[in-house]
């Protein structure tokens, strides 16, 4: 029995991944729990808010001890650092299958800020919210990569990056990748259910529909470079130099755009 961890940022495909693992035979810790509108994720969010937002701290590991033996658990990237590096030390001890979901940073930012109305889209407030999301994408992923590389390199082989685009481009390969990394050998019925669960109509906020001004602003962002590495050569991401926590300079430049 092996714990499967999904480390994610919102709107990166983490719920689809949890659903896929569930349909392949892994129990998922959580269900339709979220403060977000269900319209954003009609098939459910599949998480437990206290774990999602605070990670698998000692207190929560004790609370869910029995379920954690062989389950799928979703945790936000930043939440894995609550309590310092203690959670990662535990990950190193139990050796879970770790999935890190990601999506095109600009698609993800627009989807995460979908609470803005159409009238607000393109306003300064919306533009700054998108900029914040792009900064957090780079800093959040960089923090995970640097911490693992410097403190728990033994976990690198336990981590698979799963891109949102993968289930859209090749559903068969996506399901196979997920099953293999989780150590599952699903039967034909499970594979069929996992495939049938993939609904491409839920792919909204597509990069080819993004306003030109957002694309121009995105081009020099560090997030663009790291996303391309993830898509083309994810193994090399562990050798990359990551920027320190982003400063407010990028927000100042965003303000000057208006």
Give me the pLDDT at residue 249, please. Answer: 55
Q: Any idea where the domains of the chain sit in the sequence? A: 4-256
What's the average pLDDT block by block, 10 residues per block, for the chain (258 residues)? Answer: 91 92 92 53 72 95 92 95 95 97 91 63 74 88 95 97 95 97 96 93 82 83 93 94 63 51
Give me the pLDDT at residue 116, please. Answer: 52
Q: Which residues contact 151 (CB under 8 A, 6 or more apart)?
A: 85, 88
- 159 near 100, Cβ under 8 Å? yes
The CATH number given to 4-256 is: 3.40.50
Give me the pLDDT at residue 122, please. Answer: 64
């Amino acid at each position: 029995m092996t714990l499967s961890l999904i480390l994610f940022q919102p709107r990166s495909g983490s719920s689809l991944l949890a659903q896929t693992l569930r349909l392949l035979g892994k129990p998922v810790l959580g269900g339709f729990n979220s403060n977000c509108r269900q319209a954003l994720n009609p098939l459910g969010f599949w998480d437990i808010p206290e774990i999602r937002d605070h990670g698998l701290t000692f207190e929560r590991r004790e609370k869910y001890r029995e379920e954690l033996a062989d389950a799928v658990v979703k945790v936000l990237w930043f939440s894995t650092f609550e309590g310092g590096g203690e959670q990662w030390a535990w990950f190193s001890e139990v050796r879970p299958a770790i999935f890190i979901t990601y999506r095109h940073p600009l698609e993800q930012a627009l989807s995460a800020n979908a609470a803005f109305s159409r009238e607000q889209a393109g306003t300064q407030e919306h533009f700054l919210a998108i900029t914040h999301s792009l900064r957090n994408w780079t800093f959040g992923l960089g923090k995970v990569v640097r911490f693992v590389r410097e403190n728990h390199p033994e976990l690198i082989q336990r981590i698979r990056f799963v891109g949102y685009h993968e289930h859209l481009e090749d559903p068969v390969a996506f399901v196979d990748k997920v099953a293999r990394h989780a150590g599952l050998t699903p039967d034909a019925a499970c594979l069929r259910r996992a495939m049938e669960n993939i609904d491409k109509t839920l792919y909204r906020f597509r990069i080819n529909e993004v306003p030109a001004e957002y694309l121009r602003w995105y081009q020099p962002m560090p997030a663009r470079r790291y996303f391309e590495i993830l898509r083309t050569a994810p193994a090399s991401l562990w050798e990359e130099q990551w920027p320190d926590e982003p400063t407010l300079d990028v927000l100042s430049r965003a303000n000057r755009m208006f």
